[in-house]
Structure 1
Amino acid sequence: MKDIQLRTVSVTRYVTPLREGGSMPAIAEADDGFLYVLKFRGAGQGARSLIAELIGGEIARILGLRVPELVFANLDEAFGRTEPDEEIQDLLKASVGLNMALHYLSGAITFDPTVTTVDSKLASQIVWLDCLLTNMDRTCRNTNMLSWHKELWLIDHGASLYFHHSWQNWEEQAKRPFVLIKDHVLLPWASELEEVDAAFRSILTPDHFQAIVSLIPDAWLEGENVFETKEQHRQAYSKFLEIRLSNSGIFLKEAQHAREIFI
């Protein structure tokens, strides 16, 4: 297995806010000359959202799904001092250091299920992924998918892995069905879930999970008193995913049941 590596860029210019939800991401330019959608550590759910973004995005990539390149985005302490908007200035101050950013897909449009159809295999792959990640945020109201160059791209996995907002009985939570899958925008087309389950279980390994969680910066793991060390904290994410993968039949049945009711 190849090592999973993320580039680190430095943010050089705040372009414009994307006032969506409570996290207030922004389009920003980095020192490599590219534009990114910047997710701030000091916003909304903070570092936990960035961890979910990192884990969800890189698992999706391993499974062959299209995800914009993820990078660590460094925000200098001096950045944003001239920003006239006080709310944005406070956000920038609270986000000094490493943040998460996705390569900006210029010209991409929000996926609309009433306009664009998705084949059953791809729909099943995305539904399965979101069951694994317990991603509650891929609904008709907010699909978190983009159409770019006639291909479907997945964005914004920050609402995934919601168990980590309390860490209560997390090992048991790993075995639970994902009941919110009933609201998934692609569920009606996900008719190949069993085939996808077999295929994806043969791809994902504990080594993949270990490689991904090893990327989580120490600064993103601060303020959590459940674990004695940051390494224990990382290993808990990996263990959660291992348990969930080995019990995929549970969330698979839930998705199939929800689909039967929907149809």
Structure 2
Amino acid sequence: MAAVARHDSGVPSPLRAVSATRYVTPLREGGSLPGLVEADDLGMYVLKFRGAGQGLKALVAEVVVGELARALGLPVPEIVLIDLDPELGRAEPDEEVQQLLRVSGGRNLGLDYLPGSFDFTPLVRDPGPDLAARVLWLDGLVLNVDRSWRNPNLLLWHREVWLIDHGASLYFHHRFAEGWQPASTYRYDAADHVMLPVAGSVTEVDAELGPKVPALLDDVLALVPDDWLDDVFGAPDRTRAAYRAYFEARLADAPRWVSELEAARVARV
């Protein structure tokens, strides 16, 4: 059975695992050259390759941010784990794609393909101030630098806005090293955020969603496969602890960055 795009809230559910049976076509809109694949459940998925230039950390960010967003009630296509046989690339005529398939054998990441969806912009359809504020707050929490009006990473499907492509979030993990500690503050510039001109109160959203995050973190982080996690800390659970430490520091700093988002929002409204 094909996958269903979910946006339930509550305790994160385990990610389904499927196997790719057919490579359909590259999707050249993304910088990491994702591809459309069919899987053994007859579903179609946008596959994010473990062998792409952005590496496994991009896949980790996709899982952590996407599933945290879902648990907080935001609409995200279903995320699955996709086992890929490099032999699927044997008949691919594009050498770049063939090489990507060859180096991405094993477990990759997939997002439920939303047929007929198209890029969302608030100029075409008003998302409403509440959803806009929730997306803006989430991106501030996870340091998502890739939701600008130039590249919103939002889809409109069945008259609903869906959040996609969170691989550029959590940029701090590119500096993981033994002894790493989260900074007390992180710079986040929302000046070009696609939702900024239409968002409602970010302060109200923070008061509602912020307290929910700590209870969700362990379940969300447990969804990331162990072999995707940076081994610099010596064990997967120690790496998960580093991500948790970041979120704890970011939430402790929320009065500052939320007030900055709110000031930027008020200035644009």
User: Alpha-carbon deviation of 1:178?
Assistant: 4.0
Which residue of structure 1 aligns with residue 235 of structure 2?
A: 229
User: Alpha-carbon deviation of 1:79?
Assistant: 2.5
SS of 1:181's equivalent in the other structure is coil
- Give CA deviations for 1:187-246 in whole Å, capped at 9, x if unaligned: 1122311111111023222x4111111122122125x43x12222112111221122123
- More displaced stretch, 196-205 vs 97-106: 196-205
Which residue of structure 2 aligns with residue 149 of structure 1?
A: 158
User: Matched residues in 1 for 2:212 and 2:205: separation?
Assistant: 11
User: Matched residues in 1 for 2:197 and 2:186: separation?
Assistant: 18
Unpaired runs of at least 5, structure 2: 1-9
1:54 aligns to 2:60 (yes or no)? no
User: Matched residues in 1 for 2:12 and 2:226: separation?
Assistant: 19
Q: What value does the CA root-mean-square deviation take over the aligned residues?
A: 1.8
With over 3 angstroms needed to count, the CA separation of the structure-2 counterparts of 1:177 and 1:93, relative to structure 1, is same
Q: TM-score, normalised by structure 2?
A: 0.90
- More displaced stretch, 180-189 vs 60-69: 180-189
Which residue of structure 2 aligns with residue 160 of structure 1?
A: 169
Give the share of equivalent positions with the same residue, in percent.
47
1:240 aligns to 2:249 (yes or no)? no
Alignment of 1:25-174 (within 5 A): 25-167=34-176, 171-173=181-183
User: Contact 1:179 / 1:254 at 8 angstroms: preserved in 2?
Assistant: no
SS of 2:47's equivalent in the other structure is strand
User: Alpha-carbon deviation of 1:165?
Assistant: 1.0
User: Matched residues in 2 for 1:21 and 1:15: separation?
Assistant: 16
Which residue of structure 1 aligns with residue 257 of structure 2?
A: 251
Which residue of structure 2 aligns with residue 201 of structure 1?
A: 210
Unpaired runs of at least 5, structure 1: none
User: Matched residues in 1 for 2:128 and 2:104: separation?
Assistant: 40
SS of 2:45's equivalent in the other structure is strand
How many pairs align? 259
Which residue of structure 2 aligns with residue 220 of structure 1?
A: 228
User: Matched residues in 2 for 1:49 and 1:160: separation?
Assistant: 8
User: Matched residues in 2 for 1:56 and 1:89: separation?
Assistant: 29
SS of 2:147's equivalent in the other structure is coil
Code of the aligned partner of 2:148: T
Q: TM-score, normalised by structure 1?
A: 0.92
- More displaced stretch, 20-29 vs 7-16: 20-29
